[in-house]
Amino acid sequence: MQRAVTILTISQIRSMKIIDGKKIAAQIRVEIAREAADLVRLGITPGIAVILVGDNPASVSYVTAKERACSETGIRSFMSRMPVETTQDELINEIKRLNADDSVHGILVQLPLPKHIDESAIIRAIAPEKDVDGFHPINLGKLLLGEDDGFTSCTPAGIMELLVRSGVDTSGKHAVVLGRSNIVGKPVANLLLQKKDGANATVTICHTGTPDATHFTRQADILIVAAGRPNTVTADMIKPGAVVIDVGVNRVPDTSKKSGFRLVGDVDFDAIAPIASFVTPVPGGVGPMTITMLLANTIKAARRCAT
């Protein structure tokens, strides 16, 4: 059965506020470039090493975007391209080499890795002080404890920046996170509940084991959706005036596009936009923030060398 298409009126479009991730990311990158230049004047050129194993098209695209972002902000990027046949020991040896290289302040291993390599073992091999992706157990532990000297996973960090820079008050609000992944759901839930400015929310996490997620999403002042499935959240699941952050990126068929598909989030944007007070689009919402926060983490790692 086809879903009815929602046509937004001019008044509805004007009443909602789009959180422009591209604009906010651009603002942060100007700040990052300024900090990078300050570090260079101190004799420290921020550097990040990116390791790509194999030639997965999506991974190649992501890595290219990261290299371009580094170039635009004055961060030096070191690229290690390794064949898909690379063994786990060979990859760990490359990480050890980069761990010992003082010109490399951050290390990122592009995921996913070939199936014969244990991703957990690779993440643990990265020195925590160079884990700018924020996936190492030590950095995840520091996030849980509310310590600021670790690295926060890039997408959750980007979500928090979107909320703060859009003027969204999180203190005392009920935040519902749809999804419990180690990359987004769990970290962002922990960031929201911390006792500090820009957080201090009451947090509920819903997941595939939640019998009636709608019961909770309708209560959400802030709803963060990272379910990995298009149109997971529909208009009947939204509380009027809620802030909706859509983390999803899904390809759906679209014969009107040259590519044959278009990108959509996990939220039925056209249906919920008139109901929400703030909403992130896909693309152009959370996505641009992820690489930006990777750059911010690299600056943070390099800054430690100046103290």
Q: What's the pLDDT tens digit per position in 46-71?
A: 999 999 999 988 889 889 999 999 99
Q: What is the pLDDT of residue 261?
A: 85
Contacts of residue 231, defined as CB under 8 A and 6 or more positions apart, other chains included, come to 3, 264, 266, 267, 268
CB atoms inside a 10 Å sphere around CB 214: 14
Res. 3: pLDDT tops 50: no
* Cα distance between residue 51 and residue 66, in whole Å: 12
Contact 265, 79 (CB under 8 A): no
Is residue 12 flagged as an active site residue?
no
Average pLDDT rounded to a whole number, residues 194-202: 96
Output the six-digit token pair for 222. Answer: 């802030």
Answer for the pair 162, 24: CB distance below 8 angstroms, yes or no.
yes
User: Of 20, 131, 133, 266, which one is the catalytic site residue?
Assistant: 133
- pLDDT reported for residue 16: 59
What pLDDT is stored for residue 258 in this prediction?
83
Choosing from 20, 110, 266, 300, which is the catalytic residue? 110
Q: What is the pLDDT of residues 15-43, one digit of tens each?
A: 559 999 999 999 999 999 999 999 999 99
Q: What is the largest CA-CA distance in the chain?
A: 62
**282, 289 contact by CB (below 8 A):** no
Residue-wise pLDDT for 94-132, tens only, equals: 999 999 999 999 999 999 999 999 999 999 999 999 999
Within 10 angstroms of residue 246's Cβ, the number of other Cβ atoms is 27
- Give the active site residue among 20, 66, 130, 266: 66
Whose tokens are 């009920």? That residue is 174
String of DSSP letters for 184-240: THHHHHHHHHSSSTT---EEEEE-TT-TTHHHHHTT-SEEEE--SSTT-B-GGG--T
pLDDT of residue 307: 67
Could you give the C-alpha distances from 3 to 84, 217, 231, 234, 271, in angstroms and in order?
Answer: 42, 21, 10, 11, 11
Residue-wise pLDDT tens digits, 164-194? 999 999 999 999 999 999 999 999 999 999 9
22 is catalytic: no
Residue 5 has pLDDT above 70, yes or no: no
Query: How many C-beta atoms surround the C-beta of residue 64 within 10 A?
Result: 12
Given pLDDT bands bounded at 50, 70 and 90, which one contains residue 4? very low
Q: What percent of the chain has pLDDT over 70?
A: 94
Catalytic residue status for 66: yes
- Mean pLDDT score across all residues of the chain: 93
Residues 6+ apart with CB under 8 A from 306: 39, 42, 44
224: β partners: 177, 245
User: Using 50, 70 and 90 to split pLDDT, how confident is the model at 10?
Assistant: very low
Q: What domains, with CATH codes, occur in the chain?
A: 44-129 (3.40.50.10860), 153-287 (3.40.50.720)
Q: Is residue 252 very low, low, confident or very high in pLDDT (cuts 50, 70, 90)?
A: confident
